Amino acid sequence: MNARIAPAMHRLERARQLLDEAETAPSLEQLAAAVSLSPSHLQRSFRRRFGMSPAEYHRARRFGQFKAALRGGAPVTAAVYGAGFGSGSRVYEHSDRLLGMTPASYRAGGAGADIRYTTTGTPLGRLLVAATRRGICAVTLGKDDAELERRLAEEFPRATRERVDAGREEWLDAVIARIASELGWSDAAAPALPPLDVAATAFQWRVWNALTRIPAGETRSYGELAAEIGSPRAARAIGNACGSNRLALIVPCHRVVREDGSPGGWRWGVERKRELLAQERRARAGQRGDGAPRDPR
């Protein structure tokens, strides 16, 4: 590594460590002074390396701790203060975007949420599409319906889950039709994408929207995608954002590959990813609908 680059990298890693350890967010000026960088240089370099500003990183870490506490059964108030939030108001203000539901409902495994889902066969195996009253909350692939339903139950253990037949739920049918059209399984035009109801940070939305701009039949490396969103050193964070995606095919994280062109991992299976990329290359001349997911804030 270039001798001049190494100290700067060390300072950025030190800044991240300080944010990990901080109960309350330091100001940009305080953090910059602690690592001997100017505030503007720290802000710019931190975003390039990690894909988000120091303030966004600290907030994402706190919400990660908050979610873990809720999933562990901690009372909402205890989780709020345990994660370093001064009050519950800011948590509830952003809970829909970051949790996909209220904190109490998230803690209760989706209690109070009504989820309707359907399954169908595809050339890639079985496909499950699920939606709340607010939008699509899951699109998953698996070998059989039992596996898909088990995963849905693990994600939302206390939600009311109702299986519906194809043709009875407009949003679910629209997602299935859109996927079939985009992957060349159907000659019908792709319908508009229904609303989404997923938990995501601002950085994840940036990555997911960038993924939808990769044409079917093409791929990007993690580094290339990081550069496209203006964070060229955030390849690892890109990988984490792809790994957190639970909307298979709708948010096409399968189009991101390793630097050497090998497929890399995919939560729905590497062999399935290879076959999917091959199918997209074969169907590249097919029509693509419009409509990328948007941060609902």
Tell me which H or E stretch contains 155: helix 145-155
Looking at the structure, do residues 16 and 66 belong to the same domain, yes or no? Answer: yes
Output the pLDDT for position 104: 47
Looking at the structure, do residues 151 and 216 belong to the same domain, yes or no? Answer: no
In 3D, which of 183, 203, 182 has the Cα closest to residue 191? 182
From the list 99, 138, 241, 253, the catalytic residue is 253
Rounded CA-CA distance 123/54 in Å is 43
Q: What is the CA radius of gyration of the chain?
A: 21
Looking at the structure, do residues 9 and 93 belong to the same domain, yes or no? Answer: yes
Alpha-carbon distances of 104 from 68, 78, 84, 112, rounded to whole Å: 13, 12, 18, 10
Looking at the structure, do residues 259 and 172 belong to the same domain, yes or no? Answer: no
Output the pLDDT for position 225: 93
pLDDT, tens only, 189-241: 888 888 888 877 778 888 988 999 999 889 999 999 999 888 888 888 889 88
Chain CA centroid to CA 64, Å = 13
Rounded CA-CA distance 273/252 in Å is 10
In a domain, 190, yes or no: no
Looking at the structure, do residues 95 and 134 belong to the same domain, yes or no? Answer: no
Rounded CA-CA distance 130/197 in Å is 10
In a domain, 194, yes or no: no
In a domain, 232, yes or no: yes
Looking at the structure, do residues 77 and 136 belong to the same domain, yes or no? Answer: no
Asked whether 229 and 210 are in contact (CB, 8 A), the reply is: yes
Q: Tell me which of 66, 83, 107 is where a domain ends.
A: 107
Looking at the structure, do residues 103 and 120 belong to the same domain, yes or no? Answer: no
Output the pLDDT for position 128: 97
Tell me which H or E stretch contains 81: helix 76-82
Output the pLDDT for position 73: 56
In a domain, 292, yes or no: no
Give the distance between the most distant pair of CA atoms in the chain: 63
* Strand, helix or coil for residue 75: coil
Looking at the structure, do residues 162 and 243 belong to the same domain, yes or no? Answer: no
Looking at the structure, do residues 93 and 17 belong to the same domain, yes or no? Answer: yes
Q: What are phi and psi of 257, to 5 degrees?
A: -130, 175
Q: How many CB atoms lie within 10 A of CB 50?
A: 23
Q: How many CB atoms lie within 10 A of CB 87?
A: 9
Looking at the structure, do residues 78 and 31 belong to the same domain, yes or no? Answer: yes
Residue type, 31: L
Domain residue limits at 37: 5-107
Which residues, in sequence order, are bridge partners of residue 119? 128
Which strands form 125-131's sheet, in the order they lie side by side?
Answer: 136-142, 125-131, 114-122, 160-163
* Strand, helix or coil for residue 108: coil
Looking at the structure, do residues 102 and 124 belong to the same domain, yes or no? Answer: no
Rounded CA-CA distance 54/12 in Å is 10
Looking at the structure, do residues 49 and 122 belong to the same domain, yes or no? Answer: no
Output the pLDDT for position 288: 44
In a domain, 163, yes or no: yes
- Number of structural domains (the chain) is 3
Rounded CA-CA distance 283/297 in Å is 34
Rounded CA-CA distance 284/212 in Å is 15
Catalytic residue list contains 242: no
Low-confidence spans in the chain with pLDDT less than 70? 1-7, 51, 64-112, 167, 285-297
According to DSSP H, which parts of 191-255 are helical? Answer: 202-212, 222-228, 235-243
Q: Tell me which of 48, 83, 107 is where a domain ends.
A: 107
What is the separation, in whole angstroms, between the first and last Cα of the chain? Answer: 41
**CATH (domain of 156):** 3.30.160.70
Output the pLDDT for position 60: 74
Can you count the helices (H) and strands (E) in the chain? 13, 6
In a domain, 262, yes or no: yes
Q: Tell me which of 107, 126, 160 is where a domain ends.
A: 107
In a domain, 193, yes or no: no
Nearest 10 degrees: CA dihedral of 235, 237, 239, 245? -140
**CATH (domain of 15):** 1.10.10.60
**CATH (domain of 224):** 1.10.10.10
In a domain, 188, yes or no: no
